[in-house]
Amino acid sequence: MNLNAIQMILVILVAFLAGMEGILDEFHFHQPVIACTLIGLVTGQLVPCLVLGGTLQMIALGWANIGAAVAPDAALASVASALILVLGGQGRAGVQSAIAIAIPLAVAGLLLTILARTIAVALVHLMDKAAEDGNFRGVELWHIIAIAMQGLRIAIPAALILAIGAAPVRAMLTSMPKWLTDGLAVGGGMVVAVGYAMVINMMATREMWPFFAIGFVLATVQQITLIGLGAIGISMALIYLTLSNQSGSNGSNNGGSSNSGDQVGDIIDNY
């Protein structure tokens, strides 16, 4: 699929926003499900990119910056793999190949992230110097430059992929042997399971397991749509918040004698 000039500009803009949001983390444009969906929206390939973004999001659940360890770059993996999927012209049939490419891209993006953050250290010293001189405009200018650098970290690779064009990308995808794409797809599925398990491990408490079990069972009922599952999830969250508020008010009435740090746990203990 060939993109026109307006689509290319919009794609680079989405890539730029995804790069900045990898640091700002305010509107979550760097999350795969959002970045891939936006690229699919501006290129007219919404459904394949949405499927790709949802799958990559499950993989990225286990990616987190812990201490000095920097997680793989979900923004670059999302933008680049979505572009490859669109330019390849395979539609939903090319999702598995795009996922197989996304994992190495995430690791490559890690190197770009480290490079950008290393340069940002020098920019921080320039901001300190401007602050010592009372130059607040200079502080703001270097801050904007540092954030823009993070956006260019994703926008430049996206522009390079667009410059390569659809034909080479399509040839690359079709030349990949089936054993390679199938193997990487299996590996990607294992990463999804590991990422989801890490999230459950962080959230798992005795009070949360009943909600998880109910949701797990309801998800197996094929007659319930995603909208229905979402409504059930919101209802469970409201029930949890209601129980938490009731526990907080009861604890205050009793002089705070029942305050173990887990309000819902206190209610379950009382029962």
**Which of 179, 203, 227 is where one domain is finished?**
203
Task: Say whether both 183 and 155 belong to one domain.
Answer: yes
pLDDT at 34: 92
Mean predicted confidence (pLDDT) in 7-18: 93
Measure Cα distances from 227 to 49, 57, 223, 234, 256 in Å. Answer: 20, 19, 11, 11, 40
Say how many domains are in the chain.
2
Task: Say whether both 15 and 62 belong to one domain.
Answer: yes
Task: Please check the confidence at residue 271 and state whether its pLDDT lies above 60.
Answer: no
Measure the CA–CA gap between 193 and 170, rounded to whole angstroms.
30
Q: Picking from 16-25, 172-181, 204-213, which range would have the lowest pLDDT averaged per residue?
A: 172-181
Task: Say whether both 83 and 136 belong to one domain.
Answer: yes
At 11, the pLDDT band (50, 70, 90 cuts) reads very high
Task: Say whether both 49 and 130 belong to one domain.
Answer: yes
Measure the CA–CA gap between 35 and 160, rounded to whole angstroms.
18
Mean predicted confidence (pLDDT) in 9-25: 89
Task: Say whether both 178 and 229 belong to one domain.
Answer: no
Task: Say whether both 160 and 247 belong to one domain.
Answer: no
Owning domain of residue 189: 5-203
Tokens of 3: 């993109």
Contact present, 210 and 264 (Cβ < 8 Å): no
Task: Say whether both 187 and 68 belong to one domain.
Answer: yes
Task: Say whether both 185 and 251 belong to one domain.
Answer: no
At 183, the pLDDT band (50, 70, 90 cuts) reads confident
Task: Say whether both 79 and 133 belong to one domain.
Answer: yes
| Residue listed under structure tokens 């938490």 | 244
Task: Say whether both 77 and 185 belong to one domain.
Answer: yes
pLDDT tens for residues 193-227? 666 666 677 666 777 778 778 878 887 888 888 78
**Which of 160, 185, 203 is where one domain is finished?**
203
Task: Please check the confidence at residue 263 and state whether its pLDDT lies above 60.
Answer: no
Contact present, 79 and 16 (Cβ < 8 Å): no
Mean predicted confidence (pLDDT) in 110-127: 86
Q: Whose CA is closest to 82, among 1, 153, 190?
A: 1
Judged on CB neighbours under 10 Å (0-12, 13-18, 19+), 173 is buried
pLDDT tens for residues 131-150? 998 888 989 999 899 999 98
Task: Say whether both 174 and 229 belong to one domain.
Answer: no
